[in-house]
Amino acid sequence: MYFRLRTWLGVGWWGIVFAMCAIASGLFPLISFMGYFGTGRLREIVFGASFTWISLVGIVFVFFFLMDMTSLIARILDWLMGTSFKPRFFEPRKCVPATLLLILVFLLYSYYEAWNVKRVDIVIETSKLPDEIDRLRLVHLTDIHFGGLNTAARFLKVMDIVHSAKPDILVMTGDVVDGDMSYWEEKTALLATHGAKYGAFAVTGNHEFYFGIKQAVDFKERAGFTLLRDARADVAGIAILGLDDPTARGRGWERGVVETLPDSLSFPEDKFVLILKHRPQIIDGSAGKFDLQLSGHTHGGQIWPFGYIVKWMYKHEQGLTFIDSSAVYVSNGAGFWGPPLRFLTPPEVTVIDLVKK
């Protein structure tokens, strides 16, 4: 990023400022994690601002890399064709300003997308609903990430969608708490107004262990949620299996570990089985034994091109997919982590209608 800007701006005092900002961006998250900014709002703002800067550097790097590749291709074509065409536009001094303009457009749209939560509706047919219920509406929230640069005003948009959907059951699949919740009573009260007919249920995500599982449990219970930690709840004629995030077992960073169903749980054959699981990984040997799994965690990559990394890490990376007779829905999440930016992965509240065949 520095060398490309230098070709346009020349060498000057701004380079020293740039270097200081770059060093600070790497130190602030570490300092924040170590608690030197306390546990209040200041820590979260520093943390969010630091990762916004880091993301900005990454985005600019990608755009400058694409700029260099375009310039290289133009020069190779000019040499191969032996024409008098001179790709002067692709000289760094001339194409850097155009690239910076594209970056600005990218950032403005990404900011707009991150703050405009969408409602996603899907319908799943099943023959396992009780006789007295023809349709059961689930509303799925995940990856809200309270903390950082999220605000109560933004969460109000999320709850407006929840209220308008009039859920029978509200479920949350982790990473709701991502900071100090002691001063977020407004969000607790707002979430508690969900109005789900048959109740609200939640599971843990990895970030809730990073910032203290006790406060995460307390927050969800005060908001009127039943927390399922490797536990089952039977409600409205369906079985809800809630699984703890692997971080609870010290396996949060391992890849390729076979997920198994805890010994205390089983798949009932006579009921619609809903699995709440933060990470979009399928329990070994469970395909065809459950009806629907709801997950989050990936954010759909949040910012292009990180979605390609998500696709490499997780088979079920975004949207609705099927494995045998089991459906898996992976939500983009209703919030964001780190920078308040999203690109081509809009935040969502998912409304799932289970309808009788």
For 69-85, the pLDDT digits (tens) are 888 887 787 778 776 65
Mean pLDDT computed over 59-76: 86
Residue 30 pLDDT class (50, 70, 90 cuts): low
Q: Are 165 and 139 in contact (CB under 8 A)?
A: yes
Residue 341 vs residues 55, 102, 316, 348: alpha-carbon distances, Å: 9, 16, 23, 14
Euclidean distance between CA atoms 295 and 8, whole angstroms: 46
Averaged pLDDT for residues 329-355: 94
Phi, psi of 330 (to 5 degrees): -110, 115
**pTM score, whole prediction:** 0.88
Model confidence band, residue 95 (pLDDT cutoffs 50, 70, 90): confident
Question: In this predicted structure, which of 63-77, 158-172, 288-302, 337-351 has the lowest mean pLDDT?
Answer: 63-77
What does the pLDDT read at residue 186? 72
Q: What is the C-alpha separation between 48 and 44, in angstroms, rounded? A: 6
Q: Which amino acid is at 313?
A: M
Of 33-42, 118-127, 175-184, 221-230, the poorest mean pLDDT is in 33-42
The residues, any chain, with a CB within 8 Å of residue 68's CB and separated by 6 or more, are 4
Unique residue bearing structure tokens 């995460």: 216
Q: At which residue do the structure tokens 């843990």 appear? A: 204
- Residues of the chain within CATH 3.60.21.10 domain(s) are 119-356
**Mean pLDDT across 331-351:** 93
> Looking at the domain 119-356, which fold is it?
Purple Acid Phosphatase; chain A, domain 2 (3.60.21)
| Angle at alpha carbon of residue 160, lines to 154 and 161, rounded to 5° | 105
Question: Which of 91-100, 232-241, 316-325, 344-353 is predicted least confidently?
Answer: 91-100
89: tokens are 């536009």
Q: How far is CA 80 from CA 66, 74, 86, 87, 344, in A?
A: 21, 10, 13, 13, 37
Over residues 315-337, mean pLDDT: 89
pLDDT of residue 106: 95
pLDDT over 80 (residue 265): yes
Amino acid at 259: E
The residues that bridge with 328 in the sheet, in sequence order, are 293, 321
Other C-beta atoms closer than 10 Å to the C-beta of 23 total 10
